[in-house]
């Protein structure tokens, strides 16, 4: 009987400790604040491309970012920096429209999924119209939300 009572007390204490240590779900207003902060970071990144401002764009990119494009090896941070600088030197982006299809926040990460429609105007040659889907994983870092993972693909050929 004594052993049974001890086991019951230990089990109850353990259940209380586990319950007390479990993280609570973030309040709804925190999720709304996170969404607003990610929206602001996304708009800053979009504006950087529209204005051809490399420094502004790179401020929204994490130090350990990865870009994942179809048919190519993943781009690490150094390659992403090189890509942003190179693309902004080659093209002006007079139009970039993003349409969000899904968004959620999970702790220090936010996932943004949608479609894009852009016009790239090369320094020489005809404008290029690009459309497709994107998925961006944002990470909360000191100084704000930054792009941690980014993936795009073109729509299927019709």
pTM score, two decimals? 0.79
Q: Residue 52: inside a domain, yes or no?
A: yes
Residues in the chain, overall count: 158
Residue 77 belongs to a domain: yes
List phi, psi (to 5°) of 139. Answer: -125, 135
pLDDT at 6: 47
What are the tens digits of pLDDT across the range 54-99?
999 999 999 999 999 999 999 999 999 999 999 999 999 999 999 9
pLDDT at residue number 30: 86
Number of domain units in the chain: 1
Locus of tokens 């230990």: 10
Range of the domain at 78: 28-153
CATH classification at residue 124: 3.10.450.50
Residue 23: inside a domain: no
> Is residue 15 included in any domain, yes or no?
no
Collapsed DSSP state (helix, strand, coil) of residue 52: coil
Segments in the chain below pLDDT 50: 2-3, 5-25
Instruction: Write down the pLDDT at residue 154.
Output: 85
Q: Are 38 and 112 in contact (CB under 8 A)?
A: yes
CB count within 10 Å of CB 148 equals: 20
Domain assignment present for residue 19? The answer is: no
Neighbouring residues of 144: CB distance < 8 A, sequence distance ≥ 6: 37, 41
């Amino acid at each position: 009987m004594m052993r049974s009572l001890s086991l019951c007390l230990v089990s109850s204490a353990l259940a209380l400790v586990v319950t007390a240590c479990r993280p609570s779900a973030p309040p709804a207003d925190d999720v709304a604040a996170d969404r607003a902060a990610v929206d602001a970071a996304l708009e800053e990144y979009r504006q950087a491309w529209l204005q051809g401002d490399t420094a502004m764009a790179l401020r929204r990119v994490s130090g350990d970012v990865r870009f994942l494009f179809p048919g190519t090896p993943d781009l690490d941070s150094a390659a992403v920096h090189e890509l942003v600088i190179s693309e902004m030197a080659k093209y002006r982006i007079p139009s970039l429209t993003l349409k969000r299809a899904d968004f959620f926040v999970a702790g220090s990460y936010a996932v943004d999924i949608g479609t894009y429609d852009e016009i790239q105007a090369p320094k020489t040659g005809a404008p290029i119209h690009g459309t497709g889907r994107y998925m961006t994983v944002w990470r909360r870092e000191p100084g704000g939300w930054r792009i941690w993972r980014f993936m795009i693909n073109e729509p299927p050929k019709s």
